Structure 1
Amino acid sequence: MLYIDSFLNFLKFEKRSSDHTVVAYKADLKQFAEYMKEMGVKDEREVKTRFIRNWVVALHYDNLKPRSIHRKIASLRAYFKHLLREEVIETSPVEGVILPKLSKNLPDFVKEKEMDLLLDHVPFGEDYPGVRDRTIIDLFYGTGIRLSELVALKDRSFDFGSGLVKVLGKRNKERLVPLNQTTLNSVSNYMLRRNQEFGENKAKSFFLTDKGEAIYHKLVYRIVNKHLRSVTTLAKKSPHILRHTYATILLNRGADINAIKELLGHANLNATQVYTHNTFEKLSSIYNQAHPRA
Structure 2
Amino acid sequence: MADTRQHKIHEQKLNELVKIMPHFVAEYVDDKRDSRSPSTLLNYVHDYKLFFEWLVEKNIANCKDIKDIELSVLENLKLDQAKRFFKDLQRRDIQINKDETKKPEKVTINRKISALRSLFHYLTTQTEKDDGEPYFYRNVMLKVEVNKVKETLGARANKISRNIFHNNEDVSFLNYIKNDYYNELPPKSRSKFYFERDKERDFAILSLFLGSGIRVNELSNLRLRDLDFEENQISVIRKGGKFDTIAVVPESMSDLKKYLLIRSERYKATSEDYDYVFVTKVHNTASPLSNRAIESLVKKYTKAYKSNKSMSPHKLRHTYATNLMDETNDIHLLMRQLGHTSTTTAALYSNPEQEKAKLASKQLGERRKNV
Q: Partner amino acid for 2:174?
A: L
Using the TM superposition, give the Cα deviation of residue 30 of structure 1 relative to its aligned residue in structure 2, in angstroms.
Answer: 1.8
1:90 paired to 2:109: no
For residues 110-138 of structure 1, what are the alpha-carbon distances to aligned partners after superposition, in whole Å with 9 as ceiling and x for unaligned?
Answer: 22432111112333667341111111111
> Normalising by structure 1, what TM-score?
0.85
User: Deviation digits for residues 65-91 of structure 1, max 9, x if unmatched?
Assistant: 322212222222333333344144435
Identity %: 23
Aligned pair in 2 of structure 1 residues 34, 245: CA closer, same or farther (>3 Å)?
same
The Cα of 1:21 is off from its aligned counterpart by 2.7
Amino acid aligned to 1:187: L
SS in 1 for 2:246: strand
Alignment of 1:68-87 (within 5 A): 68-87=108-127
Q: Equivalents in 2 of 1:7, 1:236: separation in Å?
A: 39
Alignment correspondent of 1:31: 50
Gaps of 5+ in 1: none
Q: Is 1:7–1:79's contact at 8 Å kept on the other side of the alignment?
A: yes
Count residues with an aligned counterpart: 290
Match of 1:200 in 2: 270
How big is the alpha-carbon RMSD for the aligned residues of Structure 1 and Structure 2? 3.0
The separation in 2 between residues aligned to 1:270 and 1:233, in whole angstroms, is 34
How far is the alpha carbon of 1:181 from its aligned partner?
0.7
Aligned counterpart, 2:7: none
Partners of 2:340 and 2:346 within 8 A in 1: yes
1:153 to 2:222 alignment: yes
1:110–1:245 Cα contact (<8 Å) kept: yes
TM-score normalised by L of structure 2: 0.69
> Is it true that 1:120 corresponds to 2:175 in the alignment?
yes
Question: Are 1:145 and 1:264, in contact at CA under 8 Å, matched by a contact in 2?
Answer: yes
Distance in 2 separating the partners of 1:194 and 1:101: 47
- Structure 2 residues without counterparts, runs of 5 or longer: 1-21, 62-68, 94-103, 128-134, 183-194
Contact 1:81 1:92 in 2 (8 A): yes
Which sits farther off after the overlay, 148-157 or 71-80? 71-80
Contact 1:129 1:210 in 2 (8 A): no
Distance (whole Å) between structure 1 residues aligned to residue 338 and residue 288 of structure 2? 24
- Asked if structure 1 preserves the Cα contact closer than 8 Å seen for 2:303 and 2:309, the reply is no
Which of the pair has the greater relative contact order for Cα pairs under 8 Å at 6+ separation?
A: 1
Instruction: Give how far 1:58 is off.
Output: 0.7
Partner of 1:55: 85
Superposed, 1:133-152 pairs within 5 Å as 133-152=202-221
* 1:208 Cα deviation from its structure 2 partner: 0.7
